[in-house]
Amino acid sequence: MTFIAPLIETARLRLRPRTAEDFEAQLAIDLDPAVRQFIPMLASTREEFAERFFARLTGDLAGTGFYWSVEERDTPGLIGTIFIVPYLETTDFELGYRYAPSAWGKGLGGEAAIAAARHWFEILGRKKLVGVTGDSNHGSAAVLTKAGLIETGRASYRGHDVRYFEKIAGQDCSERG
């Protein structure tokens, strides 16, 4: 199956397919020390980032998952990215994301995650979605929970011990109280 990210709009956000024009803004987010403290496996140089970014956009990994660029509907400019991609060497798919620190704490990550998960389950009819986060990334755990994923244990993710979340089709996909 080849994946092409559709345009999705929420009350405050626009999730649009990633383009080459997003390179500089996403690079700035990925290299930000505040972001890297929670996602240490991100590319650490411009060259490494470019290799990964374009492999997903036009290279070997193009079409293997959804990659959305996230913008606020009323304010121009990229605030982050959200994606659903193959999870390591399994048949599962992972919900992942990262945002500029200026977007943190506003509920935007959760809003985007709910929209992406709804697309995955309700539009595509997929059966399972997983997510992982480090112990200290409480914001990311909250985003996964808002999207309906439930913490079920621990996993090894690219050499890091992480919290593991999953959602099975049929579970409520709305924000939990």
- Give the CATH number for residue 138: 3.40.630.30
What's the confidence (pLDDT) of residue 175?
Answer: 45
pLDDT of residue 176: 45
Measured over the CA atoms of residue 63, residue 48, residue 25 and residue 114, the dihedral's sign is: positive
Lowest mean pLDDT among 40-49, 110-119, 139-148: 40-49
pLDDT level of residue 171 (50, 70, 90 thresholds): low
Going by C-alpha positions, the residue among 152, 100, 105, 162 that lies closest to residue 129 is: 152
Indicate the pLDDT class of residue 95, thresholds 50, 70 and 90.
Answer: very high
Distance (Å, rounded) from C-alpha 111 to C-alpha 27?
23
What pLDDT is attached to residue 27?
Answer: 96
Answer yes or no: is 175 within a domain.
no
Nearest to 69 by CA among 24, 127, 136: 24
- Say whether pLDDT at 177 is over 50: no
* The pLDDT value given to residue 62: 81
How is the beta sheet containing 93-99 ordered, strand by strand?
8-9, 13-17, 66-72, 75-86, 93-99, 128-133, 160-168, 150-157
Q: What would the mean pLDDT of 48-52 be, rounded to a whole number? A: 93
* Closest by CA position to 2, among listed 50, 82, 62: 62
Share of the chain above pLDDT 90, in %: 79
Band (40; pLDDT cuts 50, 70, 90): confident
Whether the pLDDT of residue 174 is over 60: the answer is: no
Flag whether pLDDT at 165 surpasses 70. Answer: yes
Whether residue 177 is contained in a domain is answered as no
Is 173 among the domain residues? no
Query: Which helix (H) or strand (E) is 163 found in, with range?
Result: strand 160-168
Would you say residue 137 lies in a domain? yes
Residue 63 predicted with pLDDT over 60: yes
- Report how many domains make up the chain: 1
User: Across residues 72-77, what is the average pLDDT?
Assistant: 93
- CA 164, CA 152: separation in Å to the nearest integer? 6
Where in the sequence is the domain holding 26, given as residue range(s)? 8-168
Burial of 45 (0-12, 13-18, 19+ CB in 10 A): exposed
Residue 123 CA to residue 28 CA, distance in Å, equals 32
- At 62 the three-state DSSP class reads coil
Specify if 114 maps to a domain.
yes
